[in-house]
């Protein structure tokens, strides 16, 4: 008799699991960006553990409970009505900011697209292709006067509706090189644009976000959490932006403002620059190097640094949709995530850098990038170094 009731309980548990699983899949189907993929991976892993480590009955029971909890969690990921909510985006001349302005405009947001050159081709294209709800505004994030003027224009247009989101996207890369070789001017420029510019824009527009209980979204980089050779200036500035985001997330929670930081992987944008720009930056680097440093590294090594830019371009994705969907989630979901990692291997490398021993991470990074070019002082035999 007990066996009969056990079978009934098992079949009942299986039926409940099937129903909950179906409901969960419906939720996942409507979840953009990383929400659905992460939930599927976690549920699959958890379900496998339950079924393998427990009896069939208890495995299904625990898995059913986890389905219920995940369903409740995903309910908090439901999308809010757009209702022409106003968003400000910096760095919209090209690349991610440009694509994001178009994407949010198509979704029905009122978009303020901040550009470095309001008369440039990128700004003109936004005016030509987007709806009347998109406004192009001059906004150099390193210029306090332009930030204040942009604030006045936004306030004048949104009036009582308020500003729903600020998306700090503007950024510069600088010329990738060993940290010792990068001119101090490049370090200062990266900090000025990638960090101080984002901080000043945030501070200026925060009263509007507090009023709307809106969103602050900072576009950081995988390089903020994953040490990457040749990106000391860029990675350091983005790491500062990531820490700023984490602190602001805690401080602004009492105001109902939600903060998210996005760590994209490799995407093909104009942040890398043009061949002419690379040549100019490389010449500037050579002109500013101390003779002994230039001697140690060797001109051949320094001239080969442009290969890093070519390789980065080759391995970058031209499809911005992962970033667009994640940003859409940050400004639309009831409960957005604190961290998003769109792009190939971004989340994996962040996990390895955060949780693995440094020696393991260094080994994996070395294997991933290959042997590469070597400094002159390293590649030259010791006896030859002594005679130089």
Mean per-residue pLDDT, 139-159: 96
CB-CB contact of 347 with 42 (8 Å): no
Quote the strand ranges of the chain, DSSP E: 86-89, 110-115, 134-138, 165-168, 215-219, 258-262, 339-340
Give the burial class of 60: count Cβ atoms within 10 A of its Cβ; 0-12 exposed, 13-18 middle, 19 or more buried.
Answer: buried
Q: Which top CATH class is 86-369?
A: alpha beta
Structure tokens at 178: 């060993």
- How much of the chain, in percent, has pLDDT values that exceed 70? 74
* Cβ neighbours around 173 below 10 Å, total: 24
Give the per-residue pLDDT at 278. Answer: 80
Mean pLDDT of the chain: 83
Q: Give the model's confidence band at 269: pLDDT under 50 very low, under 70 low, under 90 confident, else very high.
A: confident
| CA 86 distance to own-chain centroid | 21
Let me know: does 336 contact 258? Beta carbons within 8 Å.
Answer: yes
CA-to-CA separations, 195 to 25, 113, 173, 201, 207, in angstroms, rounded: 40, 19, 12, 10, 20
Provide the sign of the torsion angle of the four alpha carbons 80, 84, 90, 96, taken in this order. positive
Residue 384 has pLDDT above 50, yes or no: no
Q: Is the pLDDT of residue 385 over 50?
A: no
Q: Residue 71 catalytic?
A: no
- Give the helix ranges, DSSP H, for 261-357: 275-288, 291-297, 299-303, 306-314, 321-332, 346-355
Q: What is the DSSP string of 77-129?
A: TPBPP-TT-EEEES--SSHHHHHHHHHHHHHT-EEEEEES-TTSHHHHHHHHH
How many residues appear in the chain?
388
Q: How confident is the model at residue 356 (pLDDT cuts 50, 70, 90)?
A: very high
Q: What is the mean pLDDT of residues 355-373?
A: 83
* Residues 6+ away with beta carbon under 8 Å from 11: none
Q: Domain spans of the chain?
A: 2-75, 86-369
Q: Token pair of 91, please?
A: 């760095």
Q: pLDDT value at position 299?
A: 85
Q: Tell whether the model's pLDDT for residue 73 goes beyond 90.
A: no
Catalytically annotated residue among 73, 187, 234, 347: 234
């Amino acid at each position: 008799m007990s066996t009969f009731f056990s079978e009934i309980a098992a079949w009942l548990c299986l039926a409940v699991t099937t129903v909950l699983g179906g409901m969960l899949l419906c939720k996942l189907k409507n979840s953009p960006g990383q929400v659905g993929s992460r939930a599927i991976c976690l549920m699959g892993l958890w379900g496998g553990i339950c079924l393998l480590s427990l009896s069939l009955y208890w495995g299904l029971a625990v898995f059913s409970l986890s389905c219920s909890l995940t369903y409740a969690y995903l309910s908090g990921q439901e999308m809010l009505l757009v209702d022409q909510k106003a968003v400000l985006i910096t760095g919209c001349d090209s690349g991610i900011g440009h694509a994001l302005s178009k994407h949010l405009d198509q979704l029905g947001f009122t978009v303020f697209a901040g550009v470095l050159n309001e008369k440039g081709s990128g700004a003109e294209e936004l005016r030509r292709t987007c709806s009347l709800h998109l406004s192009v505004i001059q906004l150099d994030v390193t210029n306090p006067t332009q930030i204040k003027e942009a604030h006045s224009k936004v306030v004048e247009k949104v009036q009582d509706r308020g500003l729903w989101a600020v998306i700090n996207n503007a950024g510069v890369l600088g010329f990738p090189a060993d940290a010792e070789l990068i001119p101090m001017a490049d370090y200062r420029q990266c900090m000025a644009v990638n960090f101080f510019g984002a901080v000043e824009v945030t501070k200026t527009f925060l009263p509007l976000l507090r009023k709307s209980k809106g969103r602050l979204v900072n576009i950081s980089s995988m390089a903020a959490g994953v040490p990457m050779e040749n990106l000391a200036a860029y990675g350091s500035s983005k790491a500062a932006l990531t820490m700023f985001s984490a602190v602001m997330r805690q401080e602004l929670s009492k105001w109902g403002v939600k903060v998210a930081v996005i760590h994209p992987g490799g995407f093909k944008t104009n942040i890398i620059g043009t061949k002419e720009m690379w040549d100019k930056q490389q010449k500037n680097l050579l002109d500013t190097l101390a003779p002994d440093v230039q001697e140690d590294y060797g001109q051949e090594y320094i001239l080969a640094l442009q290969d890093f830019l070519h390789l980065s371009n080759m391995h970058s994705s031209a499809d911005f949709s992962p970033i667009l969907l994640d940003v859409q989630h940050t400004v639309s979901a009831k409960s957005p995530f604190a961290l998003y990692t769109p792009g190939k291997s971004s989340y994996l490398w962040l996990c390895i850098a955060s949780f693995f021993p440094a020696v393991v991470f260094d080994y994996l990074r070395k294997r991933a990038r290959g042997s590469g070019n070597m400094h002159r002082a390293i590649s030259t035999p010791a006896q030859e170094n002594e005679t130089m």
